[in-house]
A and B are shown apart, each in its own frame.
Chain A
Amino acid sequence: MQTFFSIGVDALAYGMILFVISIGLSVTMGLMRVINLAHGAFAMIGGYIASYAARDLGLAYGLAIAIAVLGTIIIAVPLERFLYRRIYGAPELTQVLMTIGITFCVIGLANYVFGPTLKTIPLPAGLQGPVDIGFRTIAAHKLFAIGCGVVVALALWYLIERTSFGVKLRASVDNTAMAAALGVRTKIVYAASFALAVGLAAFGGVIGAELLPVEPYYALRYMVTFLVVVSVGGAGSIPGALIACLLLGAIDTTGRYLVPEYGEFFFYLAVIAIVWVFPRGLMGRAK
């Protein structure tokens, strides 16, 4: 029984970190229909900025997160304006080629500017060290990550389903011409949602840095996992991504705990099974 809870807590923490990073990708792929392979690169940029702010400039952790999110958005907005805007609605191959190109450029730049070593983001005292939760100890920053995941999920759901911005976003995505004709400024809506997705990536990159350390190859290393989450959850669906993360986190963690020698066998077996039964992901929308 203790083992069960123990695995459960680890799975929840891992799943939530995956969720915070991947949900931005789900937004770009599902709502904006852009296959953004540079998503991991934006998460990495966030991590680097936070590391620089907190470690080299000595700023507070909360402030470092804010600077990382804003800084990444500031870097991403011109990219959206001059590069991404050209590939909205373009064939998938074009999108893949351009975004993977951006990823390689970012990797090269990160390697050149920050060097190939690992970068850490120093945690505040309150998030360091283990916390006793009754039947075992867990890292305080993992509890923090779980909390962040819940907040992000609720806030995003509210934004897309319940606000006028959400209505405009969904309208622009479903029929850009009609939305524009009705007075929605689609270009601004697209730019804003891209900024949102990038900001979420940066946020995830920072709070997940304890588990997925920041180094130049971050941008590619974890991209497959992020894509798997989106395809299992169904692109564009927040509850879908959440369920996918928790499910995959649970399968991955349980597998690693009980039968580590099988590696990621169960993880990918589950992915194959889910995508076979739900080709659009657990909660994907029909086109």
Chain B
Amino acid sequence: MKKLILAVAASILMSASAYAEVIKIGVVGPFSGPFAIQGKNFKAGIDAYIATHGDKVGENTIEILYRDVPQADPAQSKALAQELVVKEGVQYLAGFYFTPDAMAVTPLLKQANVPMVIMNAATSAIVTKSPLVVRTSFTTWQTSAPMAKIARERGVEKAITVVSDYGPGVDAENAFKTTFEKEGGKVVESIRMPLSTNDFSPVMQRVRNSGAQAVFAFLPSGPTTLGFVKAYNENGLKQAGIQFLAPGDLTQESDLPAIGDAGLGILTTFHYSLAHNSPENKAFVAAAQKAIGNPAELSFPSVGAYDGMYVISKMIEATGGKQDAQKAVDAVKGLTWESPRGPVSIDPETRHITQNIYLREVSKGADGVYFNKEIKTFEKQPDPGLAAAK
């Protein structure tokens, strides 16, 4: 009897697998620890995609496997990616919040025959490390450079840059400085602060004494942003008329309630605002807010993940579920679609996403919710960082 049941069970299982493949996608990101909220956003974006598009691509069913790298840790990221490829047999690797985590995995892709879809890591150079990398997020250069143009348009002659002293901070500084000086402005001083800075008062005093008309700032999203914005207000820089400019990392939606009224009027440039006015975005936000549970926690990594899933679904369509990394990547080169953030496409050369960058102002809605109001659009921005790196 027991044997019979086993045989029946086995035959059901075997026949099921003969009809449709289960395609596994491994997602590496920070799902616990200090950056857990960003990992949660990855998951919310992916869940929103599955909720709106279903978990089937053609005949094939997709299955997501999550692996947790709480902080930037290249060795662990590589080990987990290896495990996903070898033990779990994933056909796609995705996620990657931190640049070093993504960089550590690129050498594996070719041999594993697996494409990598980066849903956040924002350093320009990653896409050059392997021809199998596609990115659906943004780069710090892409979001920072338009801010320099805005500053010039608004009549700023002299600016000062203040960034956290780590990779993306230095990227932001270079992006702003290069563009700003090309446009005829002058960066009077560039301050790099240690990542662990808590009290920004001394920095603000220096900004004030520098005689600059605007301060361009970059800090990683999270606790430090709050202190920085508060210090800007409390040290009288706002009253002194020194403009606050930054890429949108500083005013990500999940930090806005904490910053509160102090943030009103801050100008940022970024690729995505939850308040972007389009039917695609409304549908996405509704699905993602449901997926994440607490709507206040939704932020920009979710849209990178959502679009990442779209790109992967196109890859699966093109390969018919067969494992062929190069064919999959080739299929999405030049892919154009309407993302929740606006019209986007995958640049065939760089495999990075070309997208609109928006100038936004932190505003307060009638319902008391703070949001990033889009007030100007820079259309179809490629990544200027790669050109600058050459």
A→B interface (CB under 8 Å) = 3, 6-7, 10, 13-14, 111, 115-120, 122, 129-130, 136-139, 142, 210-213, 215-218, 221-222, 252-254, 256-257, 260-261, 263-264
Contacts and interface: CB of A to CB of B under 8 A. Distances in A.
B265 interface: no
Contacts of B198: 14, 211-212, 222
B199 A253 contact: yes
Nearest to A215: B223
A253 B202 CA distance: 6
Interface in B159-201: 165, 191-194, 196-199, 201
Contacts, number: 116
B236 interface: yes
10 contacts: A115-B297, A116-B297, A117-B255, A142-B234, A221-B223, A252-B199, A256-B203, A257-B205, A260-B192, A264-B194
Contacts of A213: 223, 226-227, 258
Interface string B112-153: 000000000000000000000000000000000000000000
Question: Chain B's interface: helix, strand, loop or mixed, by majority?
Answer: helix
Nearest to A253: B202
A57 B128 CA distance: 52
Contacts of B199: 10, 13-14, 211, 252-253, 256
Contact of B192 (A129, A221, A261): A261
Given A136-B235, A137-B235, A215-B222, 15 more contacts: A6-B205, A10-B201, A13-B201, A117-B255, A118-B226, A120-B257, A120-B260, A138-B235, A211-B199, A213-B258, A253-B202, A257-B205, A263-B165, A263-B193, A264-B194
Closest 6 A/B residue pairs (Cβ)? A263-B194, A139-B234, A257-B202, A118-B258, A137-B236, A116-B37
Contacts of A115: 37, 294, 297
A61 to B, nearest CB: 15
Contacts of B192: 260-261
A218 B198 CA distance: 12
Contacts of B165: 261, 263
Contact of A256 (B40, B193, B222, B296): B193
A117 B254 contact: yes
